[in-house]
Amino acid sequence: MKILFLIRSLESGGAERQLVVLARGLRQRGHDVAVAVFYPGGPLEDELKEDDVPIHSLEKRGRWDVLGFLTRLIQTVRRERPDVLHSYISNLVTVPVQPFCPGTRIVWGVRSSHLDFDRYDWLFRFSHKLSCRLARSADLIIANSHAGRRGHVADGYPAQKTAVIPNGIDTARFRRNPAARERIRREWGISRDEELIGLVGRLDPMKDHETFLRAAAQLSHVRPAVRFVCVGDGPSAYRAALQGRTGALGLSDRLLWAGMRSDMANVYSALDLLVNCSYGEGFSNVIGEAMACGVPCVATDVGDSRLIVGSMGALVPPKDPMALMKGMQQVLDRRLPPAEIRRPVVERFSVETLVRATEQHLLALCHGTAIESVEPRQRTLAS
């Protein structure tokens, strides 16, 4: 197949990294793969260039550069003549392309399971409503979580066209590194007899750092040898507000704000427990990556976190600091073996699984056959 992926940029985000590993995997399996970006220059472009995946810049000049951008997009698709145009974000831009490229199959991507519309402006809300009305124009829709599929089908997406392919975790890259564990912990001033709990994610209200901070303050009263770290960055005003809350809760000497890190496999290896207390997830890459490094997780029971964590951690309700604190304490006490924590990610959520499943669905689309998407059975978890 000839496949053209479409994405806003290749910055260091979860969706962007998933596109990179998928594009490289399909390229290695012999398909003709290229990527078109709204905005060029993202740091992940170099990884695609290593595998000779072409990158086409659409040179979008801003939010309101619509007509010129769409013209350049249509010209790119007509020039490339792909069998499949697979959008990862901004699915609506494929709609005006279809009349000009009738031989190209259109694939939409769904990468969220819960949208808190109070956090977004009128244009985002309007775009979502329009997407729900126009979703039937896509030939195939791929959701990265069963929760995302259910939510979007309830909003009007066509169930018969919407399949589920979970994210793929690069288990060769994300694996436990004892030497890096010692080095990172020395860098952060964490002694060997201290337990380190981390929250990894951008500084965004949806990630709910507030609940993490309140749970950390409660846990620090009953577990003296525990330390905390937040890895990620965000708007300066929001970062300052969160750091102010750290002091108000008495955590200044117990919690480190580590900012952005590129060596995430090493960061995960340094942790004794990862917390994901977001109230809006589809498939959490952070949970899968941490587990691949042998780190147990406590996560809010949203999106597909229940399917990823399985019995290798605990699930808690969103926005509940006391439940989160108890979950952290319980999992730390269990001392799960790192190899056992890693195994389900290797078996169920590898990059190879992502690439093969995507290849099968796209080939079936091009050949006019169908693949049934099966809803998973729910597992009973510790909580």
Whole-angstrom distance, CA of residue 270 vs CA of residue 287: 15
- Residues 233, 146 share a domain: no
The answer, yes or no, to whether residue 201 has pLDDT greater than 60, is: yes
The answer, yes or no, to whether residue 383 has pLDDT greater than 80, is: no
The answer, yes or no, to whether residue 195 has pLDDT greater than 80, is: yes
DSSP 8-class letter at 350? B
> Between these two residues, 177 and 112, which has the higher pLDDT value?
177
Q: Which two tokens stand for residue 156?
A: 């009007």
Nearest C-alpha neighbor of 345 from the set 175, 148, 137, 146: 175
- Residues 245, 195 share a domain: yes
The answer, yes or no, to whether residue 370 has pLDDT greater than 70, is: no
146-194 confidence digits (pLDDT tens): 999 999 999 999 999 999 999 999 999 999 999 999 999 999 999 999 9
Q: Which two tokens stand for residue 357?
A: 């499943």
Cα-atom radius of gyration of the chain, to the nearest Å?
21
Neighbouring CB atoms inside 10 A of 172's CB total: 10
Neighbouring CB atoms inside 10 A of 351's CB total: 19
376: in domain: no
16-38 confidence digits (pLDDT tens): 999 999 999 999 999 999 999 99
- Residues 329, 232 share a domain: yes
pLDDT at 192: 92
> Between these two residues, 11 and 194, which has the higher pLDDT value?
194
Domain membership of residue 199 as a residue range: 178-346
Pairing of strands 2-7, 195-200: unpaired
pLDDT at 228: 98
Whole-angstrom distance, CA of residue 87 vs CA of residue 5: 6
- Residues 129, 242 share a domain: no
210: in domain: yes
- What sections of the chain are H helices per DSSP? 14-28, 45-50, 67-80, 122-134, 146-155, 178-188, 209-222, 236-248, 264-270, 285-292, 305-309, 321-334, 338-348, 351-367
Which amino acid appears at position 254 of this protein? R
301-342 confidence digits (pLDDT tens): 999 999 999 999 999 999 999 999 999 999 999 999 999 999
- Residues 119, 151 share a domain: yes
Out of 47-51, 119-123, 282-286, 344-348, pick the least confident: 119-123
pLDDT at 361: 97
The answer, yes or no, to whether residue 242 has pLDDT greater than 60, is: yes
Q: Which conformational region is residue 324 in: left (phi greater than 0), alpha (psi within -120 to 50 degrees), or beta?
A: alpha
